[in-house]
Chain A
Amino acid sequence: MAAAPQARPDATAARLSALALPESGAWAAEARKAALQRLTATGLPGRRDEYWRWTDPSSLNAAETPPAALFDAREVPPFEAVDRVRIVFVDGVFDAAASDDLAAAGVEIERLAEAGRHDIHWAKELYGVLEARGQAPVPRPLAALNTAFAPDGVLIRATARAAKAISLVYLHNSETSDAILHHVVKVETGADLTVLENGPAAARFNKVMEVEVADGAAFHHVRLQGRDHELRSATHIFAQVGEGASFKSFTLTVNGRLTRNEAVVEIVGDGAVAHVAGASVGDGDFHHDDTVFVTHDAVGCESRQVFKKVLRNGATGVFQGKILVKPGAQKTDGYQISQSLLLDEASQFFAKPELEIYADDVKCSHGSTSGALDDTALFYLRSRGLPEAEATDLLVLAFLAEALDEIEEERLREEIRMRLEGWLRRRRK
């Protein structure tokens, strides 16, 4: 059993007193009760916890939500060109009028707020279950809190190739909103599903997504976070990947005062693939933390972690990534890279790459670098007539390219690239 997190018990008590357990039927009540026990056993995270050394959780723990001013990005909303089913939450509250007809989605979609009132539901085998598995060896109290208290979220079950992507849109309208959402995604044998997420969500956002990718199934996830400068969010993805299955997740984060994205991926079937990637660009008061655990517990599987951060004007980036290869997980191919581009002296990057290997026939590599723009490359581009700002942007995009290449669908990759380009252009000195 890992050491208990160090937040003072009264901080945990204060946070809990500000929350109410949602009204639930038998299956959800049971799951919430168990989660609450996990949370009270560990308490909320503190700075002395091993995986919170570089990220201060106090604003994520606080009973009261730190306010976040609304921000108009004046951008075309993302994924407009994608054939998708929109599910809209405003400050964590489902907006039926703004959402598409869930019954016409082609996959089974229910809301937790409704399904949670039943006494039996298929989601019982996943809700809080993958999260609980992910609590060892490192506790993730904010995820347990989410399971216990999330009032809503979506439960998605795909049984075949989904014709449309499921697009979760999170709007932010209140400066003090504190949103908790919990999604469960079950991609059944041979099925194929894409889930998109975007939007600032709330002043403070705690989100969990549990994903089961069954044998031979494929799950694609593309997420756009941020744009509001003062957001705070803690998100977790817990995934279980079956035989010959594929799990691919990419996140772009732009702005946000504090973002902690945890991904806990367990590969349980032979010949499976799991890729987790992220690109983040921060300017000024920006703290971005990717904490990723990939466990290989099957033979002949491939995993990739590709994370790139561009930091300037005092922005901070954190990467904590682990590849754990369990005994017997032979022929594992594990790769991990985390890199930061520091555009000035005030910005900083902390990295903790870890490999833990208990099998003898594996190929695992990891690397972490931190550096400034290449002066020679910059001069070369300028000598061809590119103004300094344009040359800098081109090199920044080139730096991020490896992470963006993890997005399989070309149209989505291109959209993300264009958005990044636009963001960089607007921020030229």
Chain B
Amino acid sequence: MLEIKNLHVKLEEEDKAILKGVELSVDAGKVHAIMGPNGSGKSTLSYVLAGREGYEVTDGSATLDGKDLLAMAPEERAAAGLFLAFQYPVEIPGVGNMTFLRTAVNAQRKARGQEEMSAAEFLKVIREKAKALNIDAEMLKRPVNVGFSGGEKKRNEILQMAMLEPSMCILDETDSGLDVDAMRLVAEGVNALRDAGRGFLVITHYQRLLNHIQPDVVHIMADGRIVKTGGPELALEVETQGYAGILAEVA
């Protein structure tokens, strides 16, 4: 489903390489986790895949279902089925959460040649999904992420994911800033979306989140590369040995 080959990326504004040959393949139905120390390039990888400006791809490729992601505008990537849950969800004053979600859902449906969702149908679906994430009507009415707590922002990201039904979900440090209860709620939201047709890439510092979202494959990233790949036990290894131990092992 998601194929990343020899991906090299540098910052546009300065001559600084961040990704130095990432190789990664995520199949449909699988949950992959990427762990790694600060500055290893995890978040950059998620931004580059989603199409954020400011990065230059100097080599390699990234495809989703065979389509060249790197040649597409961010909205085209979204329509192709890619979703990034932001580490720091953006506040947008003046735009109602509900209006935003409906515009997004319908923009994607339109891009895929599907009919737009009626207001009534949309309302029915969003109420149901919001309820599962403990998001009340008030939060849906408020401007996007404005005045939301850290946990509310992350739950709002998962609600967007649930509404947009992407085929490839990237979660960038979705556990950061969450207490145990909020993390469980977010993890349940993610687990509810797991199915045979959908792939996940979960980026995290800590093994904690992976207790709630069981990965099939765990990758360790360091200095812009995947340096080690294993099963769920690799995450536990991080917990006991720290990154230093694992990196010493592969060096």
Instruction: Show the binding face of A for B, using Cβ within 8 Å.
Output: 375-377, 379-388, 390-391, 394-395, 397-402
Contact = CB atoms under 8 A, between A and B. Distances in A.
B94 A390 contact: no
Given A386-B75, A399-B94, A381 B100 contact: yes
A375 B53 contact: yes
Interface of B: 50-53, 73-75, 77-79, 83-84, 86, 89-90, 92-95, 100, 103-105, 107-108, 111, 143, 160, 164
**8 nearest interchain CB pairs?**
A398-B94, A385-B78, A382-B74, A401-B94, A385-B108, A380-B90, A384-B104, A398-B95
Contacts of A382: 51, 73-75, 78
Interface residues of A, dominant DSSP: helix
B243 to A, nearest CB: 29
B52 A379 contact: yes
Nearest to B77: A383
B107 A387 contact: yes
A359 to B, nearest CB: 33
Contacts of A395: 92, 95
A379 B53 CA distance: 8
10 contacts: A381-B92, A382-B74, A383-B86, A385-B79, A391-B75, A395-B95, A397-B94, A398-B92, A398-B143, A401-B94
A376 B50 CA distance: 13
A377 B92 contact: yes
B94 A385 contact: no
A394 B103 contact: yes
Contact of B78 (A384, A388, A399, A400): A384
Contacts of B108: 385
B100 A394 contact: yes
Contact of B92 (A380, A383, A387, A402): A380
A390 B92 contact: no
Contacts of B92: 377, 380-381, 395, 398
Given A380-B90, A382-B73, 9 more contacts: A382-B51, A383-B51, A383-B74, A385-B111, A386-B75, A395-B92, A398-B94, A401-B93, A402-B94
Give the interface centre of B79, B100, B108 by most chain A CB atoms within 10 Å: B100
A387 B104 CA distance: 9
Given A379-B52, A379-B53, A379-B74, A386 B94 contact: no
A386 B107 contact: yes
Nearest to B160: A384
Contacts of B50: 379, 383
A278 B203 CA distance: 46
B73 A388 contact: yes
B107 A385 contact: yes
Contact of B164 (A379, A385, A387, A398): A385
A79 B26 CA distance: 56
A88 B77 CA distance: 52
Contacts of A394: 95, 100, 103
A395 B111 CA distance: 21
B75 A388 contact: yes
B92 to A, nearest CB: 5
Contacts of B111: 385, 387
B51 A377 contact: no
A401 B108 CA distance: 25
Contacts of B84: 383
Contact of B90 (A377, A388, A398): A377
Nearest to B93: A398
A213 B94 CA distance: 32
A384 B106 CA distance: 11
Nearest to B52: A379
A261 B81 CA distance: 49
Given A385-B164, A399-B94, A402-B94, A390 B78 contact: no
